[in-house]
Structure 1
Amino acid sequence: MIGFRDLMELRIVKAFRNHDVPLQVIRAAIEGAKAMFGIEYPFTAHRFLTDGKSIFSEALQEHGDAEITDLAKRQLVFEHVFRPALYAGIEFAGDGQATRWFPVQRSKAIVLDPQIAFGKPVLTDYGVRTEIVAEGFKAEKNKKTVASLFDIPVAAVESALRYERMAA
C-alpha cells in the first residue's frame, strides 16, 4: 500500500517527468534534498518550496543535458512544477511536513489525511470515504438515498462522485 508521503512524493516526481526531467536528475534532487533536510521524504517538506530551486539546479547541472540545464529553462521548470499547482491544497505541520492534502482545486470538500481512513480520500466534514459513497450510488442509483444511508447532504454525495470520476 502506498502511504500518504509516498503519494505526495510521487505527485512531484510525475510532474517532473511530465516536464521531461530525466529520472537521474530527479533522483539526484531527492538525494540532495534528503542530505540537506535530513528527512526521508524531502519533496513533502514545506522547506522544499524555498530551498528546492537550488537543489534542483544542482541536480540538473550534475546530471541534466545542455537544454534542460539552461538557467532560464531550469528556473522555468521549477516554477511551473512547484508553484502553485503541486503544493496547492497541502497543509503542513509545524515541522514543515505535509499532513493533509485537499486534492480538488479551490475546495476542501475532499481530503487525504493519513490520520483518517489510512489516508484514503474522504468527505472532509463527514469522514466518509469517497469510494464507498460512489459504490453506494452505483448500487442505489439515487443520490438522495445514498445521502440518507450515510447521513450526509446530497451535495456531499455529488462531491464524492465528482472526485471519484476525476481520480479514475
Structure 2
Amino acid sequence: MFLPAYRVSDAARYADISGQTIRNWQAAGDCVPPAIGERERGESLSYLQLVEVAFVAAMRRTGVKLQDIKNAREYLAVQLQSEYPFAERRFKTDGKDIWMSLDNLVAGESRSKLVKVNKGGQIAWAEIVQTRFTEFEYEDDLAVRWHVAGTDSPIVIDPRVSFGAPAVKGIATWAIKGRWQAGESIDDIADDFSLPESEVKQALQFEGIDLSELKAWQ
C-alpha cells in the first residue's frame, strides 16, 4: 500500500481537484507544514498518499480551512508518530474543525470523547459532531477502501484489488472502458464480467465515456 502507484493527474481526477492543487498541498516550508504526505518531484503517489489527497479534498468540500487541515496533520504526525495520519485514523468534521476519538491518543479513554486535532487537543462529546467521512471504509483504523465516485456508486479503490485501480466488484474500470472502445456492447460486457448493465454504465461514465445518446442508457 505504500508503494508509488498513482500519477498526480489520476489522483486529481479521482478527487475532482487539479494536479496543481495536489502539488500545493504537498508543498512545505520552514514554517508551513504540508497538508498531505510529501513526495519526490516526479514521483507517483502511494495508496496512502492517495487517501490523504481524497481526505483533504473531502475536508475542503465540507468547509474546513486549509490551515486547520495542516495544523491537524502536523499535530497528529507528532502525537501518533504517523507518516500518513489522515489515512491511518478515523475522523469526523463539523465543517469547521477536525475531530478524532480520544482513545487514539489516550489508552482506555471512551470513544464517545473526541479531540479537536486542528486546535491541539480540545475535547468534546461525539454527539456534537455530525459529519463522518462515509466514502472511506476502515479496517483497524486504516482506510483500506475509498468509494471514489461516492457512496452510492459501485466504484471503489482498494489497494488489494486490481492493483489499486478503480474497480467495480474487482473489475478495473479501465478494463471495462477498453472493451467498450474495442466495439463491444454494454450487454456483452455486462454478461462477460457478470455485472449489472447499470454498473457497467457507471464504470464507463467514470472513465469519461459519454453515454447520453445511447438508448440503452435512457
Is TM more than 0.5 here?
yes
Distance 1:89 1:12 in 2: 9
Distance 1:154 1:47 in 2: 34
TM score, norm. by length of structure 2: 0.53
Show the 5 A alignment for 1:127-166.
Answer: 127-140=170-183, 142-165=185-208
Distance 1:28 1:17 in 2: 14
Distance 2:189 2:143 in 1: 32
TM score, norm. by length of structure 1: 0.66
| Residue of 85, 103, 115 corresponding to 2:160 | 115
Q: From the two aligned structures, give the one with the greater helix fraction.
A: 1
Q: Does structure 1 residue 102 correspond to structure 2 residue 147?
A: yes
Indicate how the Cα distance of structure 1 residues 17 and 106 shifts in structure 2: closer, same or farther if over 3 A, else same.
closer
Distance 1:152 1:118 in 2: 20
Unaligned residue ranges in structure 2 (runs of 5+): 6-44, 93-98, 101-113, 122-128, 210-218
1:56 corresponding residue in structure 2: 118
Q: Does structure 1 residue 6 correspond to structure 2 residue 49?
A: yes
Contact 2:77 2:84 in 1 (8 A): yes
Distance 2:118 2:65 in 1: 10
Contact 1:34 1:42 in 2 (8 A): yes
Q: Does structure 1 residue 21 correspond to structure 2 residue 65?
A: yes
Give per-residue Cα distances to partners, 1:74-126, cap 9 Å, x unaligned: xxxxx79xx23xx21311112x11111222334362221111122111112xx
Distance 1:17 1:57 in 2: 17
Contact 2:52 2:84 in 1 (8 A): yes
- Over the aligned positions, Cα root-mean-square deviation in angstroms equals 3.0
Unaligned residue ranges in structure 1 (runs of 5+): 60-78
1:45 corresponding residue in structure 2: 88
